[in-house]
Amino acid sequence: MTRRLSTIFLASVILVLTLSGRAVAQSSVRPTFSTQSEESFNDIQVVVVPFYAWLTGMSGTLGMKGNQTNFDYSFADLARWVNFAATGHVEVIYRNHWGMLGEFNYAWLGDQNSNKNVIIDRQTSLALTDVAAFYRFDPFTLGKSGGGKTYIDLLAGARIWDFSLRMNINTSLGGQSAYQQAAWADPIAGARALIELSDKWLLEFRGGVGGFGVSSAFTWDAMGLIGWTVWEQKKHTPDFHLERLTLLAGYRAIGDTYDRGSGSNSFKYHTVLNGPVAGVAFVF
What is the number of domains present in the chain? 1
pLDDT of res. 272: 87
Please give the average pLDDT of every successive group of 10 residues along the chain, which has 284 residues.
39 38 34 48 83 82 79 82 80 93 81 57 77 94 77 95 74 65 93 92 94 95 92 74 90 90 85 87 92
β partners of residue 27: 23
pLDDT of res. 47: 93
Q: Is 198 exposed, middle or buried (0-12, 13-18, 19+ CB in 10 A)?
A: exposed
Domain that holds residue 19: 2-283
**What CATH code is carried by the domain that includes residue 214?**
2.40.128
pLDDT of res. 148: 84
> Judging by DSSP bridges, how do beta strands 140-141 and 44-49 pair with one another?
unpaired
Cα(93)–Cα(155) distance, rounded to whole angstroms?
13
